[in-house]
Amino acid sequence: MSLAETPSGARDDGELGDAAKLTRKDFESDQDVRWCPGCGDYAILAQVQKLMPELAVARENTVFVSGIGCSSRFPYYMNTYGFHGIHGRAPALATGLKLARPELSVWIVTGDGDGLSIGGNHLIHLLRRNLDVNVLLFNNEIYGLTKGQYSPTSRQGLVTKSSPLGVVDPPFDVASLALGAGATFIARTVDVESRHMLEVLRRAALHKGTSFVEIVQNCPVFNDGVHEELTDRAIKNDHQLLLEHGKPLLFGEGLRKGIRLRADLSPEVVSLDEVDIGQIALHDETSPVMTQLLARLGRQGLPMPLGVLRCVAGVPRYEQAVRAQVVEARAAKGAGDFDALFRSGETWTVG
């Protein structure tokens, strides 16, 4: 236990109580996990179950909410409270839940189709409001449950059942979308990088506000190897840019390559053999300019940033602000009195 801050759902008194005794096993439900063999979702489930006891939030105070899709089966496998909703609407369900019960630890599990296509509107508004929930978006760049149509993150040219001649529409740039919507926490990790994922999930759990985590996930059945650059041991070092707050943006074998900004702030890859490390850009989780820059990487022959792209603390949380108005109204007007309310307009007596 080395958590400096406590996540939502933890006891107010700072004590761990029974939650301290929880183990990973306590978070496994009795349901058979039904993803395809080799699906990246298994690894994500394992890391989430591993993180849970560490957070010391009682199981009954934890709720997993989802929409529809392969990823959205997730709540059934967690031995916590869970709500498997309808397609795209998990953020809406979670918003109502959190407004009614701000003290709960609420996790939204969604995918690229659920969260960015049919539920795109809810997701951007959730981020804008900064509701204190954690969003795990499994991005496999395909519709799995409906058996293989292209999704809003599929790359142009991808041949799928619904794009026999290749996908025409350009994909969403997920991190830019989140930033544009006002997200206070944006992170990216990869299904097979278990240690990295655990660290990112931990950071997400501790962030107060909407934590948005894109988990790059492999669908071996319908879009196998689409993230190979990030997962193939032989080449991944040249494609992963592991972020650390305040540290230079370095990558490649032996971290000998770095990102330098040109005068117009556009990024370029330079070798430490040729330039001084002082010229390499430093990561700053609180800078929207840096987040925007990182969000655009990965798709231009530049490495894909992994880790926390943005983390801004202290931004008001939606459910708190809403509840605060209730408290304010009570302070100003006293607790609601129906008999006074009924008589608040013009009244007259008959008889």
Report the interface residues with another protein, using CB under 8 A. 29, 31, 58-61, 63, 65, 68, 75-76, 78-86, 89, 91-101, 103-104, 121-122, 125, 322-323, 325-326, 328-330, 332-336, 338-339, 341-343, 345-351
State the binding partner of 322 from another protein, ligand SF4, none, CB within 5 to 8 A by kind.
another protein
Cβ proximity of 271 and 162 under 8 Å: no
Please select the residue that binds ligand SF4; options are 19, 39, 213, 249, rule is CB under 6 A: 39
> For ligand SF4, which is the closer residue by CB, 120 or 220?
220
Q: Is 70 in the site for ligand SF4 (CB under 6 A)?
A: yes
Least distance to ligand SF4, CB of residue 85, Å? 18
Least distance to another protein, CB of residue 162, Å? 22
d(Cα 166, Cα 158) in Å, to the nearest integer? 5
Q: Is 140 in the site for ligand SF4 (CB under 6 A)?
A: yes
Least distance to ligand SF4, CB of residue 143, Å? 9
Pairing of strands 105-111, 134-139: parallel
Phi-psi category of 97—alpha, beta or left, where left has phi over 0 and alpha has psi -120 to 50? alpha
Cβ proximity of 100 and 65 under 8 Å: no
Please select the residue that binds ligand SF4; options are 46, 58, 158, 221, rule is CB under 6 A: 221
- Closest residue by Cα to residue 179 from 323, 320, 286, 90: 286
State the binding partner of 151 from another protein, ligand SF4, none, CB within 5 to 8 A by kind.
none
- CB contact set of 295 (below 8 Å; sequence gap of 6+): 173, 175, 176, 179, 186, 305, 309
> For another protein, which is the closer residue by CB, 58 or 272?
58
Q: Is 205 in the site for ligand SF4 (CB under 6 A)?
A: no
- Strand stretches in 123-276, DSSP E: 134-139, 185-190, 211-216, 240-242, 250-251, 257-261, 267-271
Q: Is 294 in the site for ligand SF4 (CB under 6 A)?
A: no
Q: Is 150 in the site for ligand SF4 (CB under 6 A)?
A: no
- Closest residue by Cα to residue 106 from 68, 133, 67, 71: 133
State the binding partner of 269 from ligand SF4, another protein, none, CB within 5 to 8 A by kind.
none
Least distance to ligand SF4, CB of residue 73, Å? 8
**Residue 251 burial (CB count, 10 A):** 22
Q: Is 36 in the site for ligand SF4 (CB under 6 A)?
A: yes
Cβ proximity of 94 and 132 under 8 Å: no
d(Cα 63, Cα 81) in Å, to the nearest integer? 5
> For another protein, which is the closer residue by CB, 235 or 340?
340
State the binding partner of 33 from another protein, ligand SF4, none, CB within 5 to 8 A by kind.
none
- Closest residue by Cα to residue 212 from 148, 161, 139: 139
Segment contacting ligand SF4 by CB under 6 A, of 35-43, 120-128, 191-199, 208-216: 35-43
Residue ranges that bind ligand SF4, judged by CB under 6 A: 35-36, 39, 41, 70, 140, 144, 219-222
